[in-house]
Amino acid sequence: MHRRSLMKTALTAATLTALGATAAFAENPVLKIGFVGVTSGPAAAWGISNQRSMEVRADWINETGGYTIGDTTYDIEIVSFDDQKDPKRAIAGMEKMAQEGIHYVVGPNVDDGAAAVRPVAEANGIMYFPYAFPKELYQAPASNAVLGMVANYQSGPAIYKHLMESEGVETVAFIAANESDPLSQRDGGVAAAEALGLEVVSSSVTYQVDTTDFTPVLTPVMRAQPDLLVLSGVSPANAPQLIRSARELGFQGLISTETAQDAGVLAEGAGDLANGFISVGGASTPELASPLMNEFVARYTEMFGEYNDESNTKVYALEYILETLKANPAAIDDVDTFQATMDTFEAPNPYMNGDATLRYVGMTSFGQRRQVAVPLVVNVYQDGAFETLFVAEVD
């Protein structure tokens, strides 16, 4: 009997402890924020960076007591869906968000997916923050999408102009995967290059995303001997293969892309051959990074054992959503109110030193404020890590 009493007492104490922990966790109502993007396949690094950034920030917020919007303090829950870079899967993911009553979603990561989910988002009152570049997503009459990064037609001209002035680049060649996203980025890059006065010596060569031997693909491009080779819309998995093949074919010119890359993948796939490769980086540098950004990086690294520079940009989407809701709590379940708030919204940027602010931009590119303001950081890869080449701003 004594033993049974002890066991009963222990079980009762454990149950009370568990109930107490549950009650403590449930003190705050939960605000769900969605993520629909690619976390598997060749482009997985783009979506993984999104999802991990959101999870790190949400855990951090919850750990420190939650996020106060109006008179209510919320715990933040991230609801994720891997669309596998498939537009049909992206639609299914956005429908899942609608079924769960989620009004704010980060993603998708690519053009096809972002375009495919637009009807679902607009019909169900969802604001979504894609990392896709078609202007029609952000121009009226569209109103529910907010570009979460700097677009290729904004970063490309900045990169080309910098290389023209600093490296004397006069000729350029473009190569792209035979998919809508890369082809669209190639066409935008060609137009930007020609507008700057560059001679485009090759732009018709394409490849399949499952290509493993890029030598025959690149051989005709190398014959044109461009000063600059642009890998339009290249995925993190294909970039090192293309770089390696170009260098092994004897190419001595510059290589760049307007997509974000993963230093670890470049090191593993191309090694020193990737030295000098230019890409769009995360929206921070050691000089720009605030103590909060440094803590975010430390928490991310602790949680996942590694850090992706692109998360310097991906950390911003959740912050913009929450800060805009804080500015106008009525937007918590009303995206029309959210949209009205965007035009005048401004808040301190917690991730940058100085007096930088969070604000919506895009008037120049889209005619309305449908883009988050983040720095354009352009990196160059060198010996296993990214170094800052230059920093700029876009509207």
Q: Is residue 16 in a domain?
A: no
| Mean pLDDT taken over the chain | 92
pLDDT band at 281 (very low <50, low <70, confident <90, very high): confident
pLDDT at 88 over 50: yes
Q: Which residues pair with 73 in a beta bridge?
A: 68
For residues 271 and 169, membership in a common domain is answered with yes
Please list, in sequence order, all residues whose beta carbon lies within 8 angstroms of the beta carbon of residue 371, skipping any fewer than 6 positions away.
138, 146, 147, 151, 360, 361, 362, 365
Number of domains in the chain: 2
Q: Tell me the CATH number at 223.
A: 3.40.50.2300
Which residue, among 390, 319, 329, 288, has the nearest Cα to 146 in the 3D structure?
A: 319
pLDDT band at 249 (very low <50, low <70, confident <90, very high): very high
- Report, as an integer, the average pLDDT of 138-148: 97
- Report, as an integer, the average pLDDT of 299-310: 94
pLDDT at 21 over 80: no
The pair of three-digit structure tokens given for residue 218, joined into one six-digit string: 């690149």
pLDDT at 9 over 80: no
- Report, as an integer, the average pLDDT of 207-219: 94
Domain that holds residue 348: 30-145+287-373
- Report, as an integer, the average pLDDT of 219-238: 96
Q: Give backbone dihedrals phi and psi of 40, rounded to 5 degrees, phi first.
A: -145, 155
Q: Is residue 4 in a domain?
A: no
**Class of residue 13 by CB neighbours under 10 A (exposed 0-12, middle 13-18, buried 19+):** exposed
Q: Is residue 339 in a domain?
A: yes
Q: Is residue 5 in a domain?
A: no
For residues 121 and 55, membership in a common domain is answered with yes
The pair of three-digit structure tokens given for residue 175, joined into one six-digit string: 């190569």
Q: What is the pLDDT of residue 360?
A: 98
pLDDT at 6 over 60: no
For residues 138 and 40, membership in a common domain is answered with yes
pLDDT in tens, 157-212: 999 999 999 999 999 999 999 998 899 999 999 999 999 999 999 999 999 989 99
What span, in angstroms and rounded, lies between the C-alpha atoms of 30 and 321?
Answer: 15
For residues 253 and 299, membership in a common domain is answered with no
Q: pLDDT exceeding 90 applies to what percent of the chain?
A: 85
Q: Is residue 21 in a domain?
A: no
pLDDT in tens, 74-86: 999 999 999 999 9
For residues 340 and 320, membership in a common domain is answered with yes
- Report, as an integer, the average pLDDT of 103-113: 96
